[in-house]
C-alpha cells in the first residue's frame, strides 16, 4: 500500500469557545512518518488540538501546516476545509455509518475520490484483510461488535492513502483485554502503513506503547515533550510525574558541597541524602525529586552501592497480582515501592531501600 507521508507543524495554536480557552498557544511539529501522541487528562485540550489539525474545529489564532503547506493561519487568513486537507481520522465513537455495509463504509473515501470500481474493490479487500475482517464485507455495519467496528473504522481511515492519520481516543470504548490486544495490532499496522500519525489518549500505557514521541498536555498548554522513556523516567514537573504513572516525590535542601560526577544531591528534613540527575533543569536551593515506584529496590542485606541506600521498615504490603506494593517507613515518611518479584518480605521487616541516581530526577517547580 502506497502512502505519502507528510509532516505537521503547529505554531501558537489558540482555540477559544466563547469565554473558554481550550488550547492556549501550543507549538510542536510532527516529522514525516512519526507517531506522535497527545496525552493528558480530559479537558486538557488534546482532542481540541487534534480536531484543529483535522479542520473540524476552527482555531482562534495560530498556524497549522501539513506537508509544508499552510492549512490554517490567522494572518494571512487561511482555512482549508477538513475534506481538502488530505488527512484521515479514527473517531472515539468509531462513527461507522449504520445504513451501509462494511464494504461501503470502507469504500467511502475511495468513492469520494472517484476511483474506478475495480480499484475500489481490490483496495477495500486489502484493507479489510489488513484489519483481519476479510470475510465481513457484505455484513451490515450495524451488526458488528465493538472490536469489529473499531477495525472497520481503521480500515476506512487508511484505505485511501491519506498523508496523515489522526486517532481520537480510538480504544477508549473497548474493554481492557481487547484494548491491550488492539494496542499491539495498532502498532503493527502503523509500522506496515508507514504513515504520519497523531494519536490522542488519556491512557498512559497506550501512549507509551505506540508512540515515537509523547506530548503531555494540561489546561491547554504543553507540559512536556519527549520520547516515551523520557516522559516516564524524566518527568519535567510534578504534574507529569503524577499523571504518567505513580512516583514518589522527595523534597530537600540542596547540598552542592557533596555533588560529584554531575549528580545533584539534596538532603531531606529527616537527614537522608538523595543523589539524582538534573536532566538539564537548573537546581535551586530547595529542590524536589521524583522517583518511580518501580525504580526503587528493597533488600534485606545492605547493597554494595555507594549512594542512595537507606534503612527502612515495611509498614504495609498489598498484593496486586502483577506486582506487590509496599508502603515503607523511610525518613519519617512513607515511600511507595512496587516490586514485580515474588518475594519474602513481610510487614514489620527491616530492609534497605535503594535507588539508582539515574532514576531520581529533579523536577521544575
Partner 1 sequence: MLVLYPIAYLVQASLSVGDPQARPPEAYGLDNFTGLGRYAHIFGNTLLVAALATVLAVIVGFTMGWMLSRTNVPGRAAFEQLMAMPYYVTPLMGALAWALIASPNSGVVNQVWRALGGEGYLVDINTPWGIAWVMALFEGSVAFVMIGAVMKSMDPAMEEASQVLGASRVRTMLRITLPLVLPGVLGAAVFVFAEMLGSFSAALVLGLPNRFYVVTTAMYQLVSQYPPRFPTAAAMGVSLFAVMFAMVWIYRRIISTGTYVTITGKAFRPRVMDVGGLRWPFLGVCAAYLAVAVILPVLTITYASFQHLTSAIPRADNFTLINYKTALSLDAVGAALGNSLVLGLATASIGVPLMGFLSWLIYRSRLPGAGLIEYLLMFPQAVPRLVFAFGMLWAWLIFPIPIYGTLWLLLIAYLTVFLPLGLRTISGVILQIDRSLEESAQMCGATWGYRLRTVTMPLLKPGLIAAWLLLFIASVRELGASILLMGPKAKVITPAIVESWFSASTELTAAMAVLQTLAVVAALVLLFAVARRAVQHGGE
Residues in touch with partner 1 (CB under 8 A): 54-56, 81-84, 86-89, 91-93, 95, 97-99, 108-109, 112-113, 140, 142, 153, 156-157, 160, 166
Report, in Å, the least distance between residue 322 CB and partner 1: 29
Report, in Å, the least distance between residue 342 CB and partner 1: 39
Report, in Å, the least distance between residue 149 CB and partner 1: 12
How far apart CA 148 and CA 137 sit, in angstroms, is 11
Report, in Å, the least distance between residue 161 CB and partner 1: 11
Angle subtended at Cα 181 by Cα 180 and Cα 184, rounded to the nearest 5 degrees: 90
How far apart CA 2 and CA 10 sit, in angstroms, is 26
Nearer to partner 1 by Cβ, of 38 and 50: the residue is 50
Nearer to partner 1 by Cβ, of 67 and 86: the residue is 86
| Dihedral pair phi/psi, residue 218, rounded to 5° | -150, 135
Nearer to partner 1 by Cβ, of 98 and 284: the residue is 98
Nearer to partner 1 by Cβ, of 32 and 82: the residue is 82
Closest CA to 319 of 343, 296, 295: 343
Give yes or no for a contact between 279 and 295, defined as CB atoms under 8 angstroms apart: no
Nearer to partner 1 by Cβ, of 88 and 197: the residue is 88
**66: which strand partners?**
8, 69
**201: which strand partners?**
39
Closest CA to 95 of 15, 185, 173, 182: 173
Report, in Å, the least distance between residue 83 CB and partner 1: 5
Q: Is the dihedral of CA 233, 239, 245, 248 positive or negative?
A: positive
Sequence-distant (6+) residues with CB within 8 A of 243 are 39, 40, 41, 204, 216, 218
Report, in Å, the least distance between residue 53 CB and partner 1: 11
Nearer to partner 1 by Cβ, of 8 and 361: the residue is 8
β-pairing, 196-201 vs 20-30, is unpaired
Report, in Å, the least distance between residue 127 CB and partner 1: 13
Closest CA to 270 of 311, 306, 242: 311
Nearer to partner 1 by Cβ, of 18 and 262: the residue is 18
Report, in Å, the least distance between residue 98 CB and partner 1: 7
How far apart CA 94 and CA 115 sit, in angstroms, is 24
Amino acid at each position: 500500500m502506497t502512502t505519502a507521508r507528510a509532516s505537521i507543524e503547529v505554531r501558537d495554536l489558540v482555540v477559544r469557545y466563547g469565554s473558554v480557552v481550550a488550547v492556549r498557544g501550543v507549538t510542536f511539529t510532527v516529522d514525516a512518518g512519526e507517531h506522535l501522541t497527545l496525552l493528558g487528562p480530559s479537558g486538557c485540550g488534546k482532542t481540541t488540538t487534534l480536531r484543529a489539525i483535522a479542520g473540524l474545529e476552527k482555531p482562534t489564532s495560530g498556524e497549522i501546516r501539513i506537508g509544508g503547506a499552510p492549512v490554517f493561519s490567522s494572518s494571512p487568513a487561511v482555512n482549508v476545509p477538513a475534506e481538502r486537507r488530505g488527512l484521515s481520522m479514527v473517531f472515539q465513537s468509531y462513527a461507522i455509518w449504520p445504513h451501509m455495509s462494511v464494504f461501503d463504509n470502507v469504500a467511502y473515501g475511495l468513492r469520494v475520490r472517484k476511483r474506478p470500481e475495480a480499484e475500489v474493490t481490490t483496495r477495500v479487500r486489502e484493507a479489510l484483510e489488513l484489519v483481519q475482517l476479510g470475510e465481513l464485507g457484505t455484513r451490515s455495519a450495524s451488526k458488528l461488535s465493538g472490536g469489529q467496528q473499531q477495525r472497520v473504522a481503521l480500515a476506512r481511515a487508511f484505505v485511501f492513502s491519506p498523508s496523515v492519520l489522526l486517532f481520537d481516543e480510538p480504544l477508549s470504548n473497548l474493554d481492557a483485554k481487547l484494548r491491550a490486544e488492539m494496542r499491539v495490532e495498532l502498532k503493527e499496522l502503523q509500522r506496515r502503513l508507514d504513515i504520519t500519525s497523531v494519536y490522542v489518549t488519556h491512557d498512559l500505557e497506550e501512549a507509551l506503547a505506540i508512540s515515537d514521541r509523547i506530548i503531555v498536555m494540561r489546561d491547554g498548554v504543553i507540559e512536556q515533550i519527549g520520547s516515551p522513556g523520557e516522559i516516564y523516567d524524566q518527568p519535567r514537573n510534578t504534574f507529569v510525574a503524577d499523571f504518567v504513572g505513580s512516583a514518589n516525590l522527595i523534597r530537600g535542601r540542596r547540598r552542592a558541597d557533596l555533588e560529584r560526577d554531575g549528580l545533584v544531591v539534596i538532603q531531606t528534613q529527616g537527614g537522608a541524602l538523595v543523589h539524582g540527575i538534573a536532566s538539564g533543569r537548573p537546581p535551586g536551593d530547595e529542590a524536589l525529586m521524583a522517583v518511580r515506584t518501580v525504580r526503587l529496590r528493597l533488600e534485606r542485606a545492605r547493597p554494595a552501592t555507594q549512594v542512595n541506600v537507606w534503612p527502612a521498615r515495611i509498614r504495609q504490603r498489598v498484593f496486586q497480582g502483577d506486582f506487590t506494593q509496599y508502603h515503607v517507613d523511610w525518613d519519617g515518611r512513607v515511600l511507595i515501592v512496587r516490586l514485580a518479584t515474588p518475594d519474602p518480605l513481610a510487614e514489620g521487616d527491616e530492609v534497605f531501600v535503594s535507588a539508582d541516581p539515574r532514576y531520581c530526577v529533579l523536577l521544575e517547580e
